[in-house]
Amino acid sequence: MELRLLRYFIEVAREQNITAAAERLYITQPTLSKQLMELERELGKPLLVRGKRKTTLTDDGMFLFRRAQEIVDLADRTEAAFRATDDVVTGDISIGCGETEGMNVIISAMKKMNEAYPDVHFHLYSGNDEDVSERLLSGLIDFGLFVGSTDLEKYDYVRLPEQDTWGLVLQKDHPLARQPFIRPGDLVAVPILCARQAIHSNELTGWLGQEFSKLNVRTTYNLVHNAALMAKAGMGCVLTIDKLIPEGGDLVFRPLEPVVRADLIFARKKHRVLSKAAEKFLSLLQTTSAR
């Protein structure tokens, strides 16, 4: 597959119209149609459903669209890294991150990097540890920020000085809200909204003294915003780290007892050669976080 054909395909998928895509690509509609048919023949699968007014993707087309965006993005970033000169630091730095107040350390380093090298651009991808790990190992991002228990064998990493604290977010009129702490026995009969990562990594199993299957886990989530909305609606209590859901109004945060803390790990894939911009940023972050 040629990158040029993948770029053509991506544009058609976005525009959902071959004529409109051809105009944006500055080529004729018959030429674009021919190129797309060649791509389908090469892959041996129909990729597009060609309607009179709208062109949509088949299931195979949707799969290729996701992969094509990743391939083109990786190619563009690789080319940009080679274009950078020894005297000028330019280019893109991509970071995958979970939800944590600890991002402030990284943001502070990003701000200093932009002040020193204004031609460097950052791209953030939010997700849970599984999402970040997948992107990091496939080379789609330069760095990943992991929260809590993580298998670090495949990474070189910096352990940030900050830690997050696990606790329970619940409605302020909930009986447990009257307690200063949440103990394992308090959760037995409580409907729980819990991050999938915490369940799969067994991060809190030691604190609980039992498996998560013993709890009443009503809903799992990967990012906490919607879990906060469910807590406000009275669907359960959110087992999460602190400072992600603003207190006040209907919700309060109560830490776990004994205290459970989550480390913050800033990682990159082992043996990966970083661009000059990424190297500069890593050095700046290490200096910033050491203070």
pLDDT tens digit sequence for 17-76: 999 989 988 899 999 999 999 999 999 999 999 888 889 999 999 999 988 988 888 888
Count of domains for the chain? 3
Q: By C-alpha distance, which of 45, 38, 44, 54 is closest to 5?
A: 38
Q: Do 36 and 145 belong to one domain?
A: no
Question: What is the pLDDT at residue 239?
Answer: 93
Q: What is the pLDDT of residue 231?
A: 92
For 214, counting Cβ atoms within 10 Å of its Cβ (0-12 exposed, 13-18 middle, 19+ buried), the class is exposed
Task: Based on the fold, state whether residues 243 and 270 are members of the same structural domain.
Answer: no
Domain final residue, candidates 23, 55, 81: 81
pLDDT score at 86: 56
Q: Are 148 and 198 within one domain?
A: no
Q: Identify whether residues 95 and 112 lie together within a single domain.
A: yes
Q: Give yes or no: residues 275 and 146 share one domain.
A: yes
Could you tell me if 277 and 157 lie in one domain? yes
User: Within this chain, do residues 284 and 157 fall inside the same structural domain, yes or no?
Assistant: yes
Q: Are residues 277 and 158 both part of a single domain?
A: yes
Q: Are 109 and 126 in the same domain?
A: yes
Residue 126, burial from CB neighbour count under 10 angstroms (0-12, 13-18, 19+): middle
3-state SS class at 47: coil
Q: How far apart are CA 158 and CA 268, in angstroms?
A: 9
What CATH number does residue 272 fall under?
3.40.190.10
Among the three residues 65, 81, 97, which one is the final residue of a domain in this structure?
81
Q: Assign residue 30 the CATH number of its domain.
A: 1.10.10.10
Reported as a single tens digit per residue, the pLDDT across 272-287 is: 888 888 999 999 998 8
**CA-to-CA distance for 251 and 268, rounded, in angstroms?**
36
Domain boundary among 81, 108, 123: 81
Is the bond preceding 258 in cis, omega lying within 30 degrees of 0?
yes
User: Is 173 found in the same domain as 249?
Assistant: yes
The per-residue pLDDT for 51 is 86
Whether the Cβ atoms of residue 38 and residue 45 lie closer than 8 Å to each other: no
Would you state the pLDDT for residue 173?
93
pTM exceeds cut of 0.75: no
Q: pLDDT of the chain along its 291 residues, tens only?
A: 788 999 999 999 999 999 998 998 889 999 999 999 999 999 999 999 988 888 999 999 999 998 898 888 888 877 776 766 555 688 899 999 988 888 999 999 999 999 999 989 999 998 888 889 988 988 889 999 998 877 888 999 999 988 899 999 999 999 999 999 999 999 988 999 998 877 776 678 888 887 777 889 999 988 888 999 999 999 999 999 998 887 777 899 999 999 999 899 999 998 888 888 899 999 999 887 765
- What pLDDT does residue 84 have? 60
**C-alpha separations of 278 from 31, 110, 122, 147, 195 in Å:** 39, 11, 10, 21, 30
Residue-range definition of the domain harbouring residue 145? 87-162+263-289
Asked if residue 158 and residue 35 are part of one domain, the reply reads no
Task: Tell whether 111 and 234 lie within a shared domain.
Answer: no
Question: Which 8-state DSSP code applies to residue 187?
Answer: G
Pair 291, 104: CB distance under 8 Å: no
Residue 281: the pLDDT is: 94
